Amino acid sequence: VARRETRLAMEVSSPQFLTGFKCRPVPEGEERLRAMVLGDLACDLLFGESSPLYQRLYAQGLINASFGGEFEMIPGAAFLYAGGESKDPRAVAAAIQEEADRLVREGPDAGLFQQVLRANFGSNLRGLNSFENIAVSLTEGCLGGYDPFRFPQVFASVTPEDVRAFLRENVTADRAVLSEIVPKED
């Protein structure tokens, strides 16, 4: 992590933030496809709309419908991020880290894991109905050295322990950053 925190005052009505985690880069090949699946599952279990953390933060008024995040990979780098509007971005970032630590210790709820796994698989399956999605998947697969149509085999092999290992390795305090845009004071 080059810089742990940044804060900038701008003409915004409420604070905006992104918190992220610098993940280990993933080599080319099927391991890359597996990392994409694990990263997406980790995001949904950690702070997806069905997650206990999302529900709690929303009920406390710390996030709103603008909140979201995902896992991204680019050549030589990978990162997981979440953000949106919040009256207390630091509290949200701390809650995400606490929830990641809890998931590493206890593992995800079995029912929620299966729900998230099925939802992600279904999303990938529905993507086959889109010419644009297929073209992007084939291009990413070609450049990443994997066959994107092997996603059913990858999903079938993923376990809750795999997601725990992903979180244990990547979503840690020493890999965390927080960027805030706060309202400019007159």
pLDDT tens-digit readout, 164-183:
999 999 999 999 999 999 99
**What pLDDT does residue 79 have?**
97
pLDDT of residue 57: 97
Read off the amino acid at residue 127: G
- Over residues 123-149, mean pLDDT: 95
| E-state strands within the chain | 5-10, 16-23, 68-74, 77-85, 176-183
> Across residues 46-66, what is the average pLDDT?
96
pLDDT of residue 185: 85
**Position with higher pLDDT, 26 vs 42:** 42
pLDDT at res. 27: 87
The pLDDT value recorded for residue 2 is 82
Instruction: Give which of 175, 181, 168, 14 is closest to 81, Cα–Cα.
Output: 175
Give the mean pLDDT of the chain. Answer: 95
pLDDT surpassing 90 at residue 101: yes
Quick one: average pLDDT of 19-25?
96
CB-side neighbour CA atoms (13 Å) of 79: 16
Residue type, 23: C
pLDDT of residue 1: 81
Give the pLDDT score at 109.
95
What pLDDT shows up at residue 75?
84
End-to-end CA distance of the chain: 33
Per-residue pLDDT at 186 exceeds 80:
no
More confident residue, 74 or 169: 169
Please state, as a whole number, how many other Cβ atoms lie within 10 Å of the Cβ of residue 137.
Answer: 19
pLDDT over 70 percentage in the chain: 99
- Residue whose tokens read 């509290």: 91
> Helix or strand or coil: residue 80?
strand
Which residue type is seen at 93? A
